[in-house]
Amino acid sequence: MPAMSQAAGAVAIASCLAPRRRWAGVIEAITDPEALVVRSWIGGADGGYDMAKIVEQSKGVYRIDWDAGREIVMAQPFFRYVGRGGTARQARNPGETERDSRRGTTPRSECA
């Protein structure tokens, strides 16, 4: 699995940038409780700020301190509504037409 986050996966569905045929897989990945981790570019393991990370980040250094091949960074609370919207869109429209599948796109009516 490539590195991803709940936010990126949810935006891909909510914005209709992800092909409809991939929605179910994205939803499965970003809602897997075993894969979700809480991380921040400037946060410590205790949930507070980490001054060393803050200094690094101010210099343009972004360290990935999670297993990017297996773990998915959980969306921040203020952004989780996008994830719920993407999940709801998939639940409302689980099927796809053959034409949509061939094109790899979502019908415009779904992306209004």
Domain count, the chain: 1
Between residues 101 and 45, the one the model is more confident about: 45
pLDDT band at 71 (very low <50, low <70, confident <90, very high): very high
- Cα distance between residue 92 and residue 112, in whole Å: 15
109 within domain boundaries: no
Look at residue 52 and tell me if it is in a domain: no
What pTM, to 2 d.p., does this model score? 0.66
Q: Is residue 92 part of a domain?
A: yes
Q: Is residue 94 part of a domain?
A: yes
Position 55 pLDDT exceeds 90: yes
pLDDT in tens, 43-54: 887 778 999 999
Domain span including residue 33: 6-38+68-104
In angstroms, rounded to a whole number, what is the distance separating the alpha carbons of residues 58 and 37? 23
